[in-house]
Structure 1
Amino acid sequence: MTTRAKVDWKGRRLDVEVGPVAHGGHCVARFEGRVVFVRHALPGEQVTVEVTEDKGGSFCRADAVEIITPSPDRVTPPCELAVPGGCGGCDWQHASADAQRELKASVVAEHLLKATGRDIPVLVEELPGGLLEWRTRVRMAVGRDGVAGFRGHRSHDVVPVAHCPITVPDLVETVAGKEWTADAELELVRDGAGRFSSRRLGPMRMVGGRRQFPRQSIDGTGVAVEFAAGRHWEMDPFTFWQVHPAAADTLASVVAEWAEASPGACAWDLYSGVGLFASVLATQVGPEGLVRAVEQSSAAFDSIRILADLPQIEVIARKVESAFAGPLDGPTPEVVVLDPPRKGAGHDVVDQIAARRPARVIYVACDPAALGRDVARFETHSYRLELVRAFDAFPMTHHVEAVALLTPGE
């Protein structure tokens, strides 16, 4: 019996025609029967790629290093580091604004097609502010030389950065040019009031056989203020909040429009964070209703105290997966809103929600693949995807925010 030699194209240059976009900020090409995932390219282009990663399977990864026939959607990246071998933070700086949104819409539509078997039109809507200077929260890495920057794509290497065109002005500049502890990370925030906060994480150390990342505040007031859903929100600066200034209010508006919770009804807000959607639901159900907000983050849980004027909100401080047996017993929810982490809710959570048969499920998603998997699971319980809206809450990157409305069938 002969063993087939392992294929390794790493470092090899190939001339390919670029095919459709795929989830993750790259496009699909083919060469000698293998799939090549190509970054820094656009559909329809003829390019020369250099293979950057090859594990010998049916596919490899590559960067477009020469554009032979450019797409009409190609533009000059505004950042000199948005190139092969450079910063890995942005995926689509070489595409026009319209093209970026079309690429993201194609990815969302593809995953919903897989989930439902239906060709669902998707439009990725632009948020105010344009492509640059929108990001208000960012994490930077510190290299072994003590210089802060961003990691390369699929790499631990740190690319030094003194300025980032997609972050709000002066955010990255607050730490650039300074010497930091090697191998640490930095979290930077500018809140809705224009105030800056930052902290250092790590480097990692072993304590009692467990990995820990010490946290040290560098600068800031200790409280961030954000504005959305007609309220101001006071929170720990490093509690989860949307990174685009317009995203939180936009998503809250969609939830308010689709929830239609009845006065006196019960509603759930799962993975509630600081309670943004809970506040919307509470306004709809009124003082005679009940909103159960489930959140495991202690920092986010502490921030929900600002909703004291809405006593109809009951906060359940635990993981969503463990809240169904006991804390979520009682009245059947008319509406369930869930905003899970990037990995999605998963089968167990979807099964538990569907077992209660809420009249409407509103799923807020930051990952099209996870959304597709969970929508497919809902469909096994006879829930149907009725509406979907998507927003370009992460310009220049492959990330996209989507909201889906599901209703039960017979």
Structure 2
Amino acid sequence: MTGQDWTGRILELEVGPVAHGGHCVSRVDGRVVFVRHALPGELVRAEVTEDKGGSFCRADAVEVLRAAPERVDPPCPLAVPGQCGGCDWQHATPEFQRELKGRVVVEQLQRLAGLDWPVEVEELPGGALGWRSRVRLVAGPDGRAGLRAHRSHRVVALEKCPIAAPGALDRALSRRWQPGTEIEVTSDGDGHVHARELATVRGKRRARQLAGGEAVQHAAGRDWRLQAHGFWQVHPAAADMFASVVREWARASPGELAWDLYAGVGLFASVLAAQVGVTGHVVAVESGQRAVSDGERNLADLPQVSWRAGRTEHVLRSLSGQPVVVVLDPPRSGAGREVVQAVAAASPERVVYVACDPAALARDVATFGESGYRLDRLRAFDAFPMTHHVECVALLVR
């Protein structure tokens, strides 16, 4: 049976547990079926949307025969099979979305790190809609801006987006664009909308600012000015929440050394600098040159912070001293074995790890375990409601 292509086939499925990636797991004739638009315990008819002939295929639940009690009508009419791929869980209550995300974190820690760790995903202020402060749209063949369908290049044109910050997309969605143009929209901490278009002209990627350019954000007791489309937490409440957790767990003292790796514009470096004081030292490491420039400008009043521009794995080879605490906020792929081992070799008392992917976190926690560190605390946050993404902050101690 595994040699057959099931694409287009309709399967009647008992939906099993949630899996990482915004789908649930079912099994048919010895094959795994990853089912979107379903919830654990449901009975559905699902259409196979992708089958490469291996041990698994992908499907969308197109008819619910027995619904879970947590199922609701999606607030967006495009959050259905075959339409927009921007959201994963609009068909579940926000409370159940958080429960599903917690199950995913638990499963990843068990499978990849060998840890049995209870996880409760915490809600951030503001509710499940209107939170997304940064969106990248793309213009379809008709010039209308939208988002791509799940695992597809096909553009689904939008009239509005319920999870986007109110009013942020109005101008981008009200006009026509050159097909293939990408439009980045950012709503900053003062509610100002910044937009730029990204287009390929004669084989070269060109960016043109359409509105704004320098965003203002507010977190960790400071006002931040930075390139509007550079890295900043997408949820308006996330940066301040994560900074407060880092402040609580870092516990650096005056005169001590701390490292902030993947520092962005220095959000966590500012927290560490307040703890170590002018007699201490914070080394902020960041590969993006614009982020480093913004960070140096925003933290110019903190002489105890010094910046190193470059890839973290490269810069770590030249860092000296024994930091009391290391904060990491790596990209979705995680820090990786080389960085984790280098951090462990520096022998900090504590490591605070901010993670946007539970699988990457679990892999790195396992590597820290091999290097003499154990997971001491973990908090998880629903920083991306309606999607499968979840943000975790972990404390590892030597």
Q: Shorter chain as normaliser: what TM range? A: over 0.9
**Which among 310, 327, 331 is matched to residue 318 of structure 1?**
310
**Could you tell me how far apart the structure 2 residues matched to 1:187 and 1:252 are?**
26
Residues 144-163 of structure 1 mapped to structure 2, 5 A cutoff: 144-163=141-160
Amino acid at match of 1:21: V
CA distance in 1, matches of 2:145, 2:7: 29
Which of 82, 86, 91 is 2:88 aligned to?
91
Task: Give the match for residue 259 of structure 2.
Answer: 268
TM-fit CA distance, 1:281: 0.2
CA distance in 1, matches of 2:209, 2:230: 14
- String of CA shifts for 1:67-101, please: whole Å, max 9, x gaps: 00000000000000000001000000000011000
Q: Distance in 2 between matches of 1:150 and 1:204?
A: 22
Q: Which runs of 4+ in 1 moved over 6 A?
A: none
Would the alpha carbon gap of residues 40 and 406 (structure 1) be closer, same or farther in structure 2, given more than 3 Å must change?
A: same
CA-CA distance at 1:205 after TM superposition? 4.5
1:238 aligns with 2:248: no
Contact 1:27–1:43 (CA under 8 A) maintained in structure 2? yes
Structure 1: distance between partners of 2:205 and 2:105: 35
Could you tell me which residue of structure 1 aligns to residue 14 of structure 2?
A: 17
Partner of 1:217: 209
Correspondence 1:122 to 2:145: no
2:185 aligned to which of 184, 188, 193: 188
Aligned residue in 2 for 1:134: 131
SS at match of 2:90: coil
Aligned residues between the structures: 397
Structure 2: distance between partners of 1:204 and 1:19: 47
Corresponding position: 1:50 with 2:55: no
- The answer (yes or no) to whether the contact 1:141–1:158 under 8 Å persists in 2 is yes
Q: Could you tell me which runs of 5 or more consecutive residues in structure 1 were left unpaired when the two chains were aligned.
A: 207-211
Question: In the aligned structure 1, how far is the partner of 2:31 from the partner of 2:2?
Answer: 15
Please state how far the C-alpha of 1:239 moved relative to its aligned partner.
1.1
Counterpart residue type for residue 351 of structure 2: V
Alignment of 1:258-337 (within 5 A): 258-304=249-295, 305-326=297-318, 328-329=319-320, 331-337=321-327
Contact 2:145 2:157 in 1 (8 A): yes
**Structure 1 position 325, deviation (Å):** 2.1
Structure 2 residue runs of 5 or longer lacking an equivalent are none
* Match 1:248 to one of 223, 239, 243: 239
The structural deviation recorded for 1:204 is: 6.3
Deviations 1:273-322 (A, max 9, x none): 00000000000001000000000111211111111111000000111011
Distance 1:196 1:261, change over 3 A: same
- Counting only pairs closer than 5 Å after superposition, residues 63-74 of structure 1 correspond to structure 2 as 63-74=60-71
Task: Please give the alpha-carbon distance, in whole angstroms, between the structure 2 residues aligned to 1:5 and 1:167.
Answer: 41
Q: Cα RMSD (Å) of the superposition?
A: 1.1
CA contact (8 A) 1:359 1:407 kept: yes
Q: Structure 1 residues 204 and 70 mapped into 2: Cα distance closer, same or farther (>3 Å)?
A: farther
Deviations 1:14-66 (A, max 9, x none): 00100000000000000111000000000000000000000000000000000
Q: Is the 8 A contact 1:201 1:213 kept in 2?
A: yes
* Deviation of the 1:196 alpha carbon: 0.7
Q: CA deviation at 1:117?
A: 2.1
**Native 8 Å contact 2:2 2:54 kept in 1:** no
For 1:139 and 1:297, how far apart are their aligned partners in 2? 19
Aligned to 2:100: 103
The counterpart of 1:405, out of the listed 367, 374, 395, is 395
Mapped to 1, the partners of 2:167 and 2:173 lie a distance apart of: 10
* In structure 2, distance between residues paired with 1:376 and 1:137: 32
Kindly indicate whether residue 328 of structure 2 is the aligned counterpart of residue 338 of structure 1: yes
State the distance in 2 between where 1:93 and 1:102 align.
14
Deviation for aligned residue 1:379: 0.7
Equivalent position SS for 2:317: coil
Shift of 1:6: 2.5
| Deviation, structure 1 residue 203 | 2.8
Aligned partner letter, 1:76: D
Given that residues 215 and 225 in structure 2 are in contact (C-alpha distance below 8 angstroms), is that contact kept between their aligned partners in structure 1?
Answer: yes
CA contact 1:162–1:172 (8 Å) conserved in 2: no
| Residue pair 1:181, 1:203 contacting (<8 A) in 2 also | no
Deviation at 1:169, TM superposition (A): 1.0
* 8 Å contact from structure 1 (residues 273, 297) kept in 2: yes
Which of 382, 387, 400 is the aligned partner of 2:377?
A: 387
Per-residue Cα deviation, 1:206-262 (whole angstroms, up to 9, x for no partner) = 3xxxxx421111112x21100000000001101100010000000000000000002
Residue 107 (structure 1) shift: 0.5
SS of the residue corresponding to residue 316 of structure 2 reads coil
Question: Could you say what secondary structure the match of 2:306 adopts?
Answer: strand
Change (3 A) 1:347 1:204: farther
Aligned residue in 1 for 2:219 = 228
Q: Which amino acid aligns with 1:149?
A: G
Tell whether the 8 Å contact from 1:258 to 1:405 is kept in structure 2 after alignment.
yes
What do residues 332-365 of structure 1 show as CA deviations (whole Å, max 9, x unaligned)?
1110000000011111001100111110001000
Q: Is the 8 A contact 2:2 2:55 kept in 1?
A: no
